[in-house]
């Protein structure tokens, strides 16, 4: 049975899709069978991140046409399988209340189903929450992003969701952001990924190629690769060691 892991955030712009895409590719590089699903039907971005500009079948088609449409699965050059969403400008109102049933049909066909979910707390987000069995919360270390992420976190905990931990993106250690200890204390959850501010990420998005492929030795790539190893249970350094390396001596964990 697949692990259905939803990647959530309180708002857009914090690196949720970047996390979902790079986690999916990094897990694939570990030899895992992964399907990445773009369940953000109103403001999808997965196709843009992966350079998948022509996808005639999408998750919208899947939701509109039962039974499950295998044509909606595309194979990226990395080996990652993808179910994209339609990012055209045409109006297309799709009821995704049955998303859970479709995701469970994918279970058994792969080791992981990674869902890039809509930000906020709208109906699409709530349908995605119901469809997932495990959850990752993505945020930035600034107070507004933390506050918005916490609302989503509380909605997930309200249905007894299994939160794997927090991923904190765009960390630059400039002294104007919450440190890891403060963030963990606020959520009462562990940070499982710290991704530094890295221009390689912006370059990779511009080039429509995940950063773990575009520049595999960059700091961000290594952070996403460690996240994948943590999710997959691959033995590596303890997260405390990694955190200490990232923060440097004398910094608070």
Decide if 116 contacts 144 (C-beta within 8 A). Answer: no
DSSP string, 222-250: HHHHHHHHHHHT---S-HHHHHHHHH-TT
Class of CATH domain 3-247:
alpha beta
Starting at the edge strand that comes first in sequence, how are the strands of the sheet with 34-38 ordered? 74-75, 81-83, 34-38, 112-116, 3-9, 134-139, 162-171, 191-196
Tokens (6 digits) for 182: 């403060």
Residues 45-82 pLDDT 10s? 999 999 998 888 888 888 877 666 677 899 999 999 99
CA dist 39 and 41 (Å) reads: 6
Domain ranges of the chain: 3-247
Q: Distance between alpha carbon 190 and the CA centroid of its chain, in Å?
A: 16
Query: How would you classify the pairing of strands 81-83 and 162-171?
Result: unpaired
Decide if 225 contacts 25 (C-beta within 8 A). Answer: no
253: confidence class by pLDDT, cuts 50, 70, 90: very low
Residues 183-196 pLDDT 10s? 999 999 999 999 99
Q: What is the pTM of this model?
A: 0.89
What is the per-residue pLDDT for 100? 86
Decide if 146 contacts 181 (C-beta within 8 A). Answer: no
Residues 207-233 pLDDT 10s? 999 999 999 999 999 999 999 999 999
What is the per-residue pLDDT for 250? 46
108: confidence class by pLDDT, cuts 50, 70, 90: confident
């Amino acid at each position: 049975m697949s692990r259905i892991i939803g990647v959530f955030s309180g708002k857009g712009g914090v690196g949720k899709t970047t996390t979902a895409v790079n986690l999916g590719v990094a897990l694939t590089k570990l030899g895992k069978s992964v399907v990445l699903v773009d369940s953000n039907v109103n403001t999808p971005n997965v196709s843009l991140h992966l350079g998948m500009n022509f996808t005639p079948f999408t998750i919208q088609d899947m939701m509109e046409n039962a039974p499950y449409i295998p044509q909606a699965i595309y194979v990226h050059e990395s080996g990652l399988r993808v179910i994209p969403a339609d990012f055209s400008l045409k109006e297309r109102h799709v009821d995704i209340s049955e998303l859970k049933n479709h995701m469970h049909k994918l279970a058994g066909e792969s080791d992981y189903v990674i869902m890039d979910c809509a930000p906020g707390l709208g109906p699409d987000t709530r349908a995605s929450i119901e469809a997932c069995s495990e959850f990752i919360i993505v945020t930035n270390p600034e107070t507004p992003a933390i506050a918005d992420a916490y609302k989503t976190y509380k909605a997930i905990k309200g249905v007894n969701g299994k939160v794997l931990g927090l991923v904190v993106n765009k960390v630059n250690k400039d002294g104007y952001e919450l440190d890891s200890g403060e963030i963990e204390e606020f959520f009462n959850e562990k940070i499982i990924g710290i991704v530094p501010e890295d221009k390689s990420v912006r370059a990779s998005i511009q080039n429509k190629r995940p950063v773990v492929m575009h520049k595999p030795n960059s700091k961000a790539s290594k952070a996403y690769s460690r996240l994948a190893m943590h999710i997959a249970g691959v033995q590596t350094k303890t997260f405390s060691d990694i955190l200490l390396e990232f923060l440097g001596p004398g910094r608070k964990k």
